[in-house]
Amino acid sequence: MLLDYDRMGWLRVALLGFTALVAGFLLLPVVFIVLLSFGSSRWLAFPPPGWTLKWYQELFADPAWLNAALTSARIATMTAILAVAIGLLASFALVRGRFAGREILRGLLLTPMVLPVVVFAIAIYAFFLRLGLGGTTIGFVIAHTVLALPFAIIPIATALEGFDKSIEDAAIVCGASPLEARLRITLPSIRIGIFSAAIFSFLASWDEVVVAIFMASPSLQTLPVKIWGSLRSDLSPVIAAASSLLVGLTLALMVMTALLHRKFRT
Amino acid sequence: MTHPFLSIRNLRKAFGAIVAVHDVTLDIPRGEFLTFLGPSGSGKSTTLYAIAGFQDPTSGDVLLEGKSLLAVPSHKRNIGMVFQRYTLFPHLTVAENVAFPLRVRRRPDADVKKKVADMLALVRLESFAGRLPGALSGGQQQRVALARALAYDPPILLMDEPLSALDKKLREEIQGEIRRIHRQTGVTILYVTHDQEEALHLSDRIALFKDGRIEQTGTGEDLYLRPATDFVAGFIGNSNFLAAEHLGTTNGTTTIRMTDGSVISGVRANGTFGKGQKTRLMIRPEAFSMERSPASAELNVEIVDIAFYGERRRIVARIAAGQEVDIRPTSAMQSQDVWPCSRQVFFDPAAAFLFPA
């Protein structure tokens, strides 16, 4: 290949430098937020005049923040469970099914990934208002599940495509009913896809803000909504602390996924 | 009235306009090792899958001891099966794989343990019990699959080209294992392959498939020495087909004229031929001899090439009409051939078969 990395000579250095620059540009704001959350300046001065944990103390002392975090976790967990359940059934239909309109169904299920979120948010807000689901946990979970479905379907469908159906047939010949074969053989064989789907759909809900702003009510706020709201009323380092926690959990889950993938590969 | 153990009756399977199996009827006695042999697309696998219950036949029936299997779902047929591809459950150890059919049958723990040990001993993989399938070679995986398929003592074992993914040496080794296990367990085996050597080596009987029909059923010797059709003759073993004209058959003795005008008497005729009918004479390469014997017929050829293969020599010769003839006589200890040369080669007419052109 013309652009073979091994044959680039001095260009390699330039490429590495450029890549580092892009990565830095993308990651630096996150690093700043984390640093500021430990800084002692009330006015988010940088570099911080000193280091402190008091913003975290303030964060954990305020029930509103804690509530928001718990709400986020609850909604994200329910979203993950629902998205994986639906994603599993949908993946079987999309991978194994032979029916008219299968490609259309696949397209529809994956649409939320490409549709501008704000359009989806306004539409579902108007719809849920009429159904009385606005500002409810159920409404939140349904809306987030729609958004999370593509992230559940893609890894599960990929795993299922890579799974040889003869193995399931073998289980059936061995005496397992088709349902038993799927539960005891097929699901464990594609578990890496299911784990990935669960983590990705959890994250799709966990850090989602646009739909959440429309769905939230004063008594039901997720962490991103609370951050957004606080940001507009008073700019406090507590927000940086909350954001750092949000980033922290996301990072932890991503690392977990990567480790799982590595473990299953060997 | 006693029923045949396993009976396939007028089985037909169509996929839309494509007919995979036209009309297959076959009785298989208990304990037999029967091979479905044939080129790909000949319907042998489809027939096997109909017995397993993965394909519903368009018409016809499959009977086990007189009772139809068609209404019984796959998982209740109690049939063992080894697949072409590796189908061990990837997340279970070798022992858990073999135990699986017993677990779904809710057998007591102690029974399961004992049976798993017996089965792993049968396929000589006792020391691999705790391994995951990913850590096994292809040959070992297929042996575990065999152990799993036999763990619940099924009356019938189906094998769908189980060795086709393995290399030649391993294939021969596991063929030996399969023969031994068949003798040891007495299970009835239906085996699908496109490899004639494998079929000849393993089977009690062979059903040769062609275009969704069985062309001939018989022992390997039947098919090799008494082929019913030119397709059988061409598929099993090597063969030369030479154009010939049928001169007449009197008192069971058939006389033909070859293209170079020589007349040969006493060849075996498959079917009846008219006087002057164009026919083809099939002669096995190893039926040729370089020395004349009392009963032999002769063929004038030009030797083009001779290669030494150990117990046989392989001679490429050409008849006057230009057609190449494959000749593989037993290597004579002292012979020193020179080529090219023109000479006569000999064959026993009773080992040559006449087929319609």
Distance between CA atoms of residues B154 and A194, nearest Å:
35
Any domain includes A57 = no
Residues A186-196 have pLDDT tens digits of 999 999 999 99
**How is A94-138 classified by DSSP, letter by letter?**
HHH---TTHHHHHHHHHHHHHS-HHHHHHHHHHHHHHHT-TTSHH
Q: What pLDDT band is residue A4 in, cutting at 50, 70 and 90?
A: confident
Answer yes or no: are the C-beta atoms of A135 and A128 closer than 8 Å.
Answer: no
Any domain includes A224 = yes
A211, containing H or E segment: helix A210-215
Please indicate whether residue A206 or residue A41 has the higher confidence score (pLDDT). Answer: A206
Q: List every span in chain B annotated with CATH 2.40.50.140.
A: 238-356
Burial class (CB in 10 A: 0-12, 13-18, 19+), B127: exposed
Distance between CA atoms of residues A200 and A152, nearest Å:
7
Average pLDDT, integer, range A91-111: 93
Any domain includes A43 = no
Contacts of A91 (CB under 8 A, 6+ apart): A153, A156, A157, A160
pLDDT at A2: 60
Please indicate whether residue B295 or residue B185 has the higher confidence score (pLDDT). Answer: B185
Any domain includes A51 = no
Residues B56-77 have pLDDT tens digits of 999 999 999 999 999 999 999 9
B-chain residues near A181 (CB < 8 A): 75
Q: Point out the residue among B75, B84, B90 whose CB comes nearest to the CB of A175.
A: B75
Q: Does the pLDDT value for residue B277 go beyond 60?
A: yes
pLDDT at A266: 52
Other CB atoms closer than 10 Å to residue A142's CB: what's the count?
Answer: 18
Inter-chain CB proximity B101 and A181 less than 8 Å: no
Q: Does the pLDDT value for residue A219 go beyond 90?
A: no
pLDDT at A47: 84
**How is B253-269 classified by DSSP, letter by letter?**
EEEEEETTS-EEEEEEE
Inter-chain CB proximity A173 and B79 less than 8 Å: yes
Q: Does the pLDDT value for residue A1 go beyond 60?
A: no
Average pLDDT, integer, range A166-172: 95
A-chain residues near B54 (CB < 8 A): 169
Distance between CA atoms of residues B12 and B50, nearest Å:
10
To the nearest whole angstrom, how far is the Cα of A187 from the nearest Cα of chain B?
A: 10
Instruction: Identify the closest residue of chain B to A186 by CA–CA distance.
Output: B89
Any domain includes A55 = no
Answer yes or no: are the C-beta atoms of B340 and B304 closer than 8 Å.
Answer: yes
Interface of chain B against chain A, CB under 8 Å?
Answer: 52, 54, 73-81, 83-91, 100-101, 104-105, 145, 148-149, 152
Strand blocks (E) in chain B: 6-15, 18-28, 33-37, 59-64, 67-68, 80-82, 156-160, 188-193, 205-210, 213-218, 240-250, 253-258, 263-269, 278-283, 288-289, 297-308, 313-318, 324-327, 341-347, 352-356
Inter-chain CB proximity A164 and B80 less than 8 Å: no
Q: Taken in order B145, B146, B148, B154, is the CA torsion positive or negative?
A: positive
To the nearest whole angstrom, how far is the Cα of B2 from the nearest Cα of chain A?
A: 28
To the nearest whole angstrom, how far is the Cα of A264 from the nearest Cα of chain B?
A: 10
Average pLDDT, integer, range B289-318: 85
- Answer yes or no: do A201 and A73 share one domain: yes
Tokens of B240: 């030369």
Distance between CA atoms of residues B130 and B128, nearest Å:
6
Instruction: Identify the closest residue of chain A to B52 by CA–CA distance.
Output: A173
Any domain includes A45 = no
CATH of the domain at A180: 1.10.3720.10
Q: Point out the residue among A164, A174, A177 whose CB comes nearest to the CB of B100.
A: A174
Total number of domains in chain A: 2
Contacts of A31 (CB under 8 A, 6+ apart): none
Q: Does the pLDDT value for residue A224 go beyond 70?
A: yes
Any domain includes A153 = yes
Establish whether this prediction's ipTM goes over 0.90.
Answer: no
Collapsing DSSP to helix, strand or coil, A186 comes out as helix
Inter-chain CB proximity B75 and A166 less than 8 Å: no
- Answer yes or no: do A159 and A90 share one domain: yes
Q: Does the pLDDT value for residue B346 go beyond 60?
A: yes
Q: What pLDDT band is residue A260 in, cutting at 50, 70 and 90?
A: confident
Any domain includes A58 = no
Backbone angles phi, psi at A119, to 5 degrees: -65, -50
Beta bridge partners, B82, equal: B159
Contacts of B115 (CB under 8 A, 6+ apart): B98, B99, B102, B107, B151
Domain ranges, residue A157: 63-265
To the nearest whole angstrom, how far is the Cα of A181 from the nearest Cα of chain B?
A: 10
Residues B22-38 have pLDDT tens digits of 999 999 999 999 999 99
pLDDT at B185: 92
Inter-chain CB proximity B100 and A176 less than 8 Å: yes
Q: Point out the residue among A164, A176, A178 whose CB comes nearest to the CB of B104.
A: A176
**Whole-number average pLDDT of chain B:** 91
Report in angstroms the alpha-carbon separations of B198 from A265, B80, B141, B202, B240. 36, 20, 19, 6, 22
Q: Does the pLDDT value for residue A212 go beyond 90?
A: yes
pLDDT at B31: 94
- Answer yes or no: do A119 and A17 share one domain: no
Please indicate whether residue B206 or residue B274 has the higher confidence score (pLDDT). Answer: B206
pLDDT at B350: 87
Q: What angle do CA B157, B158, B163 make, to 5 degrees?
A: 115
- Answer yes or no: do A27 and A123 share one domain: no
A-chain residues near B85 (CB < 8 A): 164, 166
- Answer yes or no: do A28 and A69 share one domain: no
B-chain residues near A176 (CB < 8 A): 75, 100, 104
The domain defined by B6-234 folds into Rossmann fold (3.40.50)
Inter-chain CB proximity A175 and B76 less than 8 Å: yes
Q: Does the pLDDT value for residue A138 go beyond 90?
A: yes
- Answer yes or no: do A136 and A232 share one domain: yes
**How is B222-255 classified by DSSP, letter by letter?**
HHHHS-SSHHHHHHSS--EEEEEEEEEEETTEEE
Contacts of B64 (CB under 8 A, 6+ apart): B5, B6, B7, B155, B156
Q: What pLDDT band is residue B304 in, cutting at 50, 70 and 90?
A: confident
CATH tag for B238-356 (out of 1.10.3720.10, 2.40.50.140, 2.60.40.10, 3.30.465.10): 2.40.50.140
pLDDT at B334: 58
Inter-chain CB proximity B148 and A174 less than 8 Å: yes
| Order of strands, sheet of B324-327, starting from the edge strand that comes earlier in the sequence | B288-289, B341-347, B297-308, B313-318, B324-327
To the nearest whole angstrom, how far is the Cα of A97 from the nearest Cα of chain B?
A: 16
Tokens of A6: 């091994």
Inter-chain CB proximity B74 and A172 less than 8 Å: yes
Inter-chain CB proximity A191 and B91 less than 8 Å: yes
Average pLDDT, integer, range B168-185: 90
Inter-chain CB proximity B81 and A173 less than 8 Å: yes
Q: List every span in chain B annotated with CATH 3.40.50.300.
A: 6-234
Beta bridge partners, A140, equal: none
Residues B76-122 have pLDDT tens digits of 999 999 999 999 999 999 999 999 999 999 999 999 999 999 999 99
- The reply to whether omega before B340 is within 30° of 0 (cis) is yes
